Amino acid sequence: MIKLILSDLDETLLNDDGTVHQNNVTAIQHFVAEGGYFVPNTGRSYKSILPLLKTLGLDKNNPQYVISYNGGAVVALHPDETVDILDQQTLPWQLAKKVFDLGQMQSDIDTHIYTLDQLFIHNISASDKAYMLERQVPYTEIHGTDLVFLQKEQPIAKVIFEHPEEAVREAIAHKVMAELSDEVVVTFSSGRYVEFNLKGTDKGQAGLSLAHILNVHRDEVAALGDNLNDLAMITAAGTGVAVGNARPEIKEAANIVLQKTNNEAAVADFIERFIG
């Protein structure tokens, strides 16, 4: 019996335009009403998905659990907007600065720096600005490459780079990992980002950590995803689920491959067919 569902957001739960299919809302609410835990497991910050939790009707849960930053933080959100950080894996400032500097390979690279509760973006592209707006993600633009101010901020959860060309993203990954492979882990997401977390951080380990806190066995955990940063949770969960639009690597690793895509309420399809 599935008691905990870990779900990626972009290209899994969300439609391509960032909205949520009503069938997903209905199915998730039914699952939670029956005593299940539905937990977003995302690369985003937990603050940025508060509007989504309201749409799903999960904002009144006390607490509502969220895994953010590709496993960099496991949090419990309360209706009064207080937050408990249950687990965190963060980058030391000097290491984050090294990743940032190595990724500045050409002038059109867009860089995100996530602290535990803020997003800073350097050299944001027009397409990324539209993407952030569509998904209601708050951020602060930074100018220049001096990141000293971040030493005073909360710990840094991850550093990611946005570029439309896969070859450029691969080149960034190669350059960073050639120097820092003992300290960071790399993943790719949304066909636009290459992401770096502290080594040992991933959506799978964070998901199992939360399952332990909730006294849920691994066999009672399902994980739904579509992209390479979802691979760890697909393989860690007792039931790994690939949505219809998932990358081939995710489909190959999954226990269940859905026919329906994110735009066709794939999450609802899984809940209705395999949980009931």
- Give 158-179 pLDDT, tens digit per residue: 999 999 999 999 999 999 999 9
Residue 276 has pLDDT above 90, yes or no: no
Q: Establish whether the linkage from the previous residue to 164 is cis, with ω within 30° of 0.
A: no
Alpha-carbon distance 81 to 133, whole Å?
22
Alpha-carbon distance 209 to 35, whole Å?
19
Query: Which pLDDT score is estimated for 172?
Result: 98
Alpha-carbon distance 160 to 131, whole Å?
15
Q: Starting at the edge strand that comes first in sequence, how are the strands of the sheet with 140-142 ordered?
A: 140-142, 119-122, 110-115, 156-162, 193-198, 184-189
Alpha-carbon distance 240 to 211, whole Å?
15
The pLDDT-based confidence of 54 (bands split at 50, 70, 90) is very high
Alpha-carbon distance 219 to 194, whole Å?
31
pTM confidence score: 0.90
Tokens describing residue 168: 């450029």
Task: List, for residues 114-166, the tens digit of each pLDDT value.
Answer: 998 899 999 999 999 998 898 888 899 999 898 998 987 678 999 999 999 99
Query: Which pLDDT score is estimated for 153?
Result: 67
